[in-house]
Structure 1
Amino acid sequence: MGESGSTGRLPATSAEMSRLLTAVRRGRVLTVAGGFREPRSLLVREIARRLASNFYDGVAVVDLDPLEGGYGVRELTAELGSVPGVSAPPCGTTTYAASWLAERDMLLVLDGTEQLGQDALAWLRRLLAVAPGLRILAAGRSPLAFEQERIHRL
């Protein structure tokens, strides 16, 4: 049985939610994986809401729209640049975006990671190597297959 969230029933118990919050704070990458988008999205957005104050630069939620097709590096960085509330959005080249993110203490939420292309996944892996304050919270049908990834299956 899940706990009640701000927008509906969360697909996690209080104990599971506590473990997930700790996993995001202590780890680098947490993926919520499952077949249905709505419960995954609800859970990662609630985690992000609860942890926003834990990150100096806050939370950037990137909704990867299945109707837009695949997201490569250019599309992903363009989405990052349009996130509301991001203090100085990355723009221009992917190198600039990586450099900007490398200086941040933030949680990057990627909702719909099955839309990411191989080049975007490779860029995110490289980004984790140069951005020590960056944490990734992902929601998708399957895990990202990152080395330091923790997985929560719905």
Structure 2
Amino acid sequence: MGGIVPMRDSSRAGTLPATSDELSRLLTVVRRGRVLTVTGRFREPRSRLVREIAERLSSNFCDGAAVVAIGRPFGVPELTTALGSVQGMPFLPYATADPLSWLAERDMLLVLDGAEHLAPEALAWLRRLLTAAPGLRVLASARSPLAFEGERVHRL
């Protein structure tokens, strides 16, 4: 299972696995940094936290936030296909030859929920994308850090 998941209503969020002070710090890290990975043993608390952060920060980015749920191995084709199907976002016009260069022009928050399923080539592609896209921020949930340069890690 994988793909784009719509943002959920925060009134149904339940208890977040972070204090209000921690959440405030994480929001600042995402705004100022390039990559934040929320790690921990259990997927649901990680997922809940990154989706809440995305919902709160979506309006801070011209192109909003794209949430990609990853529940099976994901390579570059699966990742670009998922990005191309985000509703309400100007992603990957039909017949885009180079999604990397098109995405490099975006000002957005890319949320990778379940990033431990990303294949090594997808991680390398994301590193190139971060180099080419100054307006891109990556927020990931995974069992372990992504090992990106400048990555900040929040352990649950």
1:99 corresponding residue in structure 2: 101
CA distance in 2, matches of 1:71, 1:23: 26
- Shift, 1:92, TM fit: 5.1
- Shift, 1:5, TM fit: 6.3
- Shift, 1:6, TM fit: 3.9
Does structure 2 conserve the Cα–Cα contact (< 8 Å) formed by 1:33 and 1:153? yes
Identity over the aligned pairs, expressed in percent? 69
> Which runs of 5 or more residues in structure 2 are unaligned?
1-9
Does structure 2 conserve the Cα–Cα contact (< 8 Å) formed by 1:78 and 1:91? no
CA distance in 2, matches of 1:84, 1:106: 14
1:17 corresponding residue in structure 2: 23
Q: RMSD over aligned Cα, in angstroms?
A: 1.6
Amino acid at match of 2:130: L
Deviation digits for residues 6-56 of structure 1 (CA, Å, limit 9, x no counterpart) = 411100000000000000000000000011110001000000000011001
1:46 corresponding residue in structure 2: 52
| TM-score for the superposition, normalised by structure 2 | 0.89
Does structure 2 conserve the Cα–Cα contact (< 8 Å) formed by 1:90 and 1:97? no
Amino acid at match of 1:13: T
- Shift, 1:146, TM fit: 0.3
Q: Is the aligned partner of 1:71 residue 2:77? A: no
2:87 corresponding residue in structure 1: 84
CA distance in 1, matches of 2:144, 2:100: 25
| Count of paired positions | 147
Amino acid at match of 1:136: V
Rate the CA distance shift 1:90–1:33 in 2: closer, same or farther, 3 A. Answer: farther
CA distance in 1, matches of 2:127, 2:25: 24
CA distance in 1, matches of 2:76, 2:93: 12
> Which runs of 5 or more residues in structure 1 are unaligned?
none
2:125 corresponding residue in structure 1: 123
